């Protein structure tokens, strides 16, 4: 496993552009995004078909990632959409970008 895979990250999954979104935190972004994409885990993302990784931000520590996740989750939907569109204006699936880095 590479160092990048073990780096804490905050991420947003979506089911389509301007659709349902989910914010999460993980220590292994490629693996966690794959789990969401394949429906490997029960829960919100499987129920609402959130398979597109549309935004992510790496963190130095898991503690700082959790703080950032809480900050994002506390914000409005409009703020989450603005965050996504500043990073990924077309809401492309970014999984391939992180799966092969």
Other beta carbons within 10 angstroms of residue 26's beta carbon come to 21
Residue 86 pLDDT? 98
Question: CATH number, domain at 25?
Answer: 3.40.1440.10
> What is the distance between the alpha carbons of residues 56 and 70, in angstroms, rounded to a whole number?
14
Read off the pLDDT of each residue in 4-31 and give the average, rounded to a whole number.
Answer: 93
Flag whether the pTM goes above 0.95. no
Find the largest Cα–Cα distance for the chain: 36
- Is residue 2 very low, low, confident or very high in pLDDT (cuts 50, 70, 90)? very low
Q: What is the pLDDT of residue 47?
A: 96
Number of separate domains in the chain: 1
Average pLDDT of 11-32? 97
CB 27 within 8 A of CB 69: no
Round to whole Å and give the CA distance between 41 and 78. Answer: 27
pLDDT tens for residues 22-62? 999 999 999 999 999 999 989 999 999 999 999 999 999 99
Count Cβ neighbours within 10 Å for each residue of 36-70 and write b for 16 or more, e otherwise. Answer: bbeeeeeeebeeeebbbbbbbbebeeeeebeebbe
- Residue 4 is classified by DSSP as G
Domain that holds residue 49: 4-99
């Amino acid at each position: 496993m590479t160092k990048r895979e073990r780096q804490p990250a905050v991420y947003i999954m979506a089911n389509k552009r301007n659709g349902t979104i989910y914010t999460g935190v993980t220590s292994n972004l490629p693996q966690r995004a794959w789990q969401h994409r394949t429906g490997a885990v029960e829960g919100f993302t499987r129920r609402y078909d959130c398979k597109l990784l549309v935004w992510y931000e790496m963190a130095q520590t898991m503690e700082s990632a959790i703080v950032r996740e809480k900050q994002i989750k506390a914000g409005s939907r409009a703020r989450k959409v603005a965050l996504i569109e500043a990073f990924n204006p077309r809401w492309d699936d970014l999984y391939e970008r992180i799966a092969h880095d």
